[in-house]
């Protein structure tokens, strides 16, 4: 199997393969043993970036948050040589309960220690603000991240779910106050959900040379073609989030995906990810896998080259 070519992740100094493994499923839809199998297969295929968050998977009854980070940390402990081969991305800011949320300096200082302990690592490669915090001045947040960078506890910082105005403001404050700037953005972006990123936010990322790693790159699984009716929602624990895609436009997108997939002898999910990867400014899509077979398909997607005709036909399904 050919080793994937690494891409610069914005100005972070990090280089990543053109696919980031999403850790949201670890401890949720797959247990620790299956998670280890997926992680091993991912690294063995030559890929190197794993994305998670402190809040994964707090939405599951009985979970407290930190389950995904804990599994990744256990995997790293069980495989000492793997730490040098992977980059660990995690996030802070989501609600962890009991007032533990947001981007205040005090919470970031506490949350990073919790994440480092769960992950069993000395430094987080990319530490991301999970959501904008309207209750905390951006200068306070960036100052807290600055301290972590100076302490060597994180190597780079990024933002997730920021709109164009929020990102512009954060970059401006960083410049004015001589604070570290966000070097990456993690937006929701896929063939169905395009309006939030395309346009001003995409242009800003390109102009400011931010690395962009997209989440929900397969629209919570809808773009795999697995869910084509409400009856299909029961196929997976993730099916509950599919209903919003079951629209005439969603049907049209699946129809075009089917056409292109047939031409390219690929799966619809592979085509959908290849389309994201081909868009201007995108460094890599994030996608999760619950089995080695699913992971093998994701790896194929990172190597699939769509023609100009393919890309145009897919893009013409409309934002």
* Residues catalogued as catalytic: 56
Q: Which two tokens stand for residue 148?
A: 């972590």
CB 159 within 8 A of CB 184: yes
Q: d(Cα 112, Cα 108) in Å, to the nearest integer?
A: 6
> Which residue in 285, 290, 293, 303 sits closest to 219, CA to CA?
285
Measured between alpha carbons, how far is residue 291 from residues 3, 30, 217, 284, 311 in Å?
A: 21, 9, 18, 21, 28
Q: What are phi and psi of 183, to 5 degrees?
A: -105, -10
Q: How far is 68 from 254, CA to CA, in rounded Å?
A: 31
Question: Kind and range of the H or E element at 117?
Answer: helix 105-119
d(C-alpha 161, C-alpha 19), whole Å: 19
């Amino acid at each position: 199997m050919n080793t994937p070519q690494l891409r610069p992740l914005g100005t972070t100094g990090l280089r990543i393969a053109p696919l980031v493994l999403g850790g949201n499923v670890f401890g949720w839809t797959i247990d620790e043993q299956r998670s280890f199998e997926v992680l091993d297969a991912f690294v063995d295929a030559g890929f190197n970036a794993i994305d998670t968050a402190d809040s994964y998977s707090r939405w599951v009854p009985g979970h407290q948050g930190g389950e995904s980070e804990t599994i990744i940390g256990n995997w790293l402990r069980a495989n000492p040589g793997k730490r040098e081969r992977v980059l660990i991305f995690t996030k802070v800011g989501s609600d962890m309960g009991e007032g533990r949320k947001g981007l205040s300096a005090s919470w970031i200082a506490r949350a990073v220690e919790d994440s480092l302990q769960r992950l069993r690592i000395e430094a987080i490669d990319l530490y991301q603000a999970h959501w904008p915090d309207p209750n905390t001045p951006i200068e306070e947040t960036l100052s807290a991240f600055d301290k972590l960078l100076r302490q060597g506890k994180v190597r780079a910082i990024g933002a997730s779910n920021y709109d164009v105005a929020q990102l512009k403001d954060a970059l401006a404050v960083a410049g004015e106050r001589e604070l570290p700037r966000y070097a990456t953005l993690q937006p929701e972006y896929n063939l169905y959900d395009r309006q939030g990123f395309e346009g001003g936010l995409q242009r800003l990322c390109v102009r400011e040379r931010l690395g962009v790693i997209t989440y929900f790159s397969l629209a919570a699984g809808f773009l795999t073609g697995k869910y084509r009716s409400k009856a299909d929602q029961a196929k997976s624990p993730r099916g509950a989030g599919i209903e919003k895609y079951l629209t005439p436009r969603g049907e049209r997108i699946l129809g075009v995906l089917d056409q292109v997939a047939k031409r390219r002898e690929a799966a619809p999910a592979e085509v959908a990810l290849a389309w994201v990867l081909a868009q201007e400014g995108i460094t890599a899509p994030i996608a999760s896998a619950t089995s080695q077979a699913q992971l093998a398909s994701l790896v194929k997607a990172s190597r699939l080259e769509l023609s100009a005709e393919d890309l145009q036909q897919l893009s013409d399904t409309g934002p």
